[in-house]
Amino acid sequence: MRTASILLLLLLGMGTLAFVALPKAKQGGKEPGKAPSTLPQRPDLRLLLSGHLDGKLEPCGCASAQSGGLDRRAFWLKAHKHEFDLALEGGNYIHEPNPLEKEKFMTTLMVLGATLHYPVLPLGARDLRMGIQELQDFHEAFGPPFLCSDVYIKTKEGPKPLFGQSYRIVTHPKAKILVLSIAGKDSWEIPKDLRLLSPVEAIERALRAARKTGFDLVLCFVHSGGSETAARIARTAKGVDLVVSVDGSHEAKTKARVFPKKGGRKTYLLFPGSEGRYLLKADLKHAPKGWELLQLHKIQVPAPRPKIPGTLPPGTDPETHRLLRDLKVQITKSDLLEKMAERKDPSGGSYAGSQACKSCHEEAFAAWKKSHHAKAFETLQRRAKEEKVWSPARHPDCVICHSVGYGERSGFRSAEKTPQLMGVGCESCHGPSRRHVAFWTRNKGKKVEKAGKERAKTPRQARVACYSCHTFEQSPGFDFTERWKKIQHK
């Protein structure tokens, strides 16, 4: 991890765990002369919620009008500080524990912690999979306000909460908020020296431990198991006002699920969406028992990006933008591109490159050659020239869809080492076909049935391949029939 460079920032920004004043709301007085019953109720507390960043520090720029981006969020938070009291982010900051995501995690800490002063950093199971020891060491040395309520360390004196505390109190002038975080199991191999409590047990324990401190509102992030797990927790947990489901669903929901509890208290289940696309604003009001949710409002983190790379786009915060750019510069200079190649599928087939198909599939080759796919890597190189200081052609997050088989055995490694696999090639859709090439070179004129395992992917499989790259984010509204016409082989 790029620890050294960020230590200072963290120490300066959040070395102390105390709540660093986030923008406070203006305490506007009531307007006289108007019938209060016709006015919308004035909230006592306005929270801004988000989570499941999933490594999306900023949108990729493949399509126009994408939302998200920490630099845009930072701008919004600073420009609209009177519109909310407190911003809280759930965990799962990273997509999976790999060297690239670890770098992104560090930058995320710098942005959320040191620059934007988020008072708590709950960790999801994905974050914990980066390595407990490493996170603990980091926490002990620099004290970022990590939080995890359901993971305990086994010690001789009994189980101790990870990061020392199973809850965090955020003290705001308007309310003392108790924050909890359920990491959950996900696909995590729990280390032997740790114990994972059930969500309900974890919540009960944390509430017991916090009783002496006193608090007004209890908010619990839930990171694993999807919305159903979060709903189960919201239904059963006692003493929790808000459950925030950090379940990876793209869209924020402006309707909460409500679970009435004994004694008139309610637990609300909220979905803030993922990947930093939205900030979900929750307007809350004190009720005789607990809190009343007045309304939810989703703020899309928007701002158009101009087409001038290398300049500061409007609607972005310069400081955060610089941090994100520094990360990209560092990735460009590092050996991450090659380190991240050949990570998965060691048993997978081997790639031949599109040129190797030309001799037998001339028509398909000619059609492909003039398609945008063939030039997809050049797109990255062109962008690199414009950006000057960093290169998407050396960034695993871009190369993955703009080359053939990056991350797989014998797939793309770098422009220098595997030039035959630059761009979206035949095998991006038809699968690794080296053996197919060898078979037909040996067996010219044989019947197709004889090819058996050496057949390339069927048309049907090839059609499904589109969706691995033309996703919700990169290709909004992708329609196979319409798009295939543009690249069909004859």
Helices in 158-265 by DSSP H: which ranges?
A: 199-210, 226-236
Alpha-carbon distance 173 to 143, whole Å? Answer: 24
Task: Please identify, using beta-carbon distances, which residue of 255 and 339 lies nearer to ligand HEC.
Answer: 339
Task: Please identify, using beta-carbon distances, which residue of 36 and 477 lies nearer to ligand HEC.
Answer: 477
Angstrom CA distances, 247 to 155, 167, 188, 250, 320, stand at 31, 21, 16, 9, 26
The rounded Cα 293 to chain-centroid distance in angstroms is 27
Any residues with CB less than 8 A from the CB of 28 and at least 6 apart, and which? none
Quote the least distance from Cβ 310 to ligand HEC, whole Å. Answer: 13
How, if at all, do strands 257-260 and 266-270 pair?
A: antiparallel
Task: Please identify, using beta-carbon distances, which residue of 152 and 412 lies nearer to ligand HEC.
Answer: 412
Quote the least distance from Cβ 167 to ligand HEC, whole Å. Answer: 37
Task: Please identify, using beta-carbon distances, which residue of 195 and 434 lies nearer to ligand HEC.
Answer: 434
Sign, Cα dihedral of 163, 167, 170, 171: negative
Task: Please identify, using beta-carbon distances, which residue of 254 and 475 lies nearer to ligand HEC.
Answer: 475
Quote the least distance from Cβ 330 to ligand HEC, whole Å. Answer: 15
Find out whether 399 and 418 touch, Cβ atoms under 8 Å.
no
Angstrom CA distances, 150 to 71, 136, 183, stand at 32, 15, 7
Any residues with CB less than 8 A from the CB of 269 and at least 6 apart, and which? 227, 230, 231, 234, 243, 245, 256, 257, 258, 259
Find out whether 115 and 318 touch, Cβ atoms under 8 Å.
no
Helices in 110-225 by DSSP H: which ranges?
A: 125-128, 132-142, 199-210
Alpha-carbon distance 407 to 314, whole Å? Answer: 35
Quote the least distance from Cβ 61 to ligand HEC, whole Å. Answer: 5
Task: Please identify, using beta-carbon distances, which residue of 281 and 395 lies nearer to ligand HEC.
Answer: 395
Detail the DSSP E strand segments found in 20-162. Answer: 45-50, 86-89, 121-122, 146-147, 151-153, 160-161
| Dihedrals phi, psi of 306, to nearest 5 degrees | -75, 165
Alpha-carbon distance 63 to 74, whole Å? Answer: 22
End-to-end CA distance of the chain: 50
Quote the least distance from Cβ 94 to ligand HEC, whole Å. Answer: 15
Quote the least distance from Cβ 109 to ligand HEC, whole Å. Answer: 21
Quote the least distance from Cβ 266 to ligand HEC, whole Å. Answer: 40
Residue-level length of the chain: 490
Quote the least distance from Cβ 220 to ligand HEC, whole Å. Answer: 32
Region label for 244, one of left (φ > 0), alpha (ψ between -120 and 50) or beta (otherwise)? beta
Quote the least distance from Cβ 349 to ligand HEC, whole Å. Answer: 10
Residues that bind ligand HEC (CB under 6 A): 60-63, 352, 354, 356-357, 359-361, 364-365, 368, 372-373, 375-376, 379-380, 383, 392, 395, 397-398, 400-402, 424, 426-430, 433, 436-437, 440-441, 448, 451, 455-456, 459, 462-463, 465-466, 468-471, 474-475, 480, 483-484, 486-487, 489
Quote the least distance from Cβ 224 to ligand HEC, whole Å. Answer: 24
Task: Please identify, using beta-carbon distances, which residue of 63 and 209 lies nearer to ligand HEC.
Answer: 63
Quote the least distance from Cβ 104 to ligand HEC, whole Å. Answer: 12
The rounded Cα 475 to chain-centroid distance in angstroms is 18
DSSP-assigned beta bridge partners for residue 293: 284
Quote the least distance from Cβ 327 to ligand HEC, whole Å. Answer: 12
Task: Please identify, using beta-carbon distances, which residue of 106 and 469 lies nearer to ligand HEC.
Answer: 469
Task: Please identify, using beta-carbon distances, which residue of 111 and 282 lies nearer to ligand HEC.
Answer: 111
* Separate counts of helices (H) and strands (E) for the chain: 16, 15
Task: Please identify, using beta-carbon distances, which residue of 72 and 373 lies nearer to ligand HEC.
Answer: 373
Task: Please identify, using beta-carbon distances, which residue of 90 and 276 lies nearer to ligand HEC.
Answer: 276
Task: Please identify, using beta-carbon distances, which residue of 200 and 451 lies nearer to ligand HEC.
Answer: 451
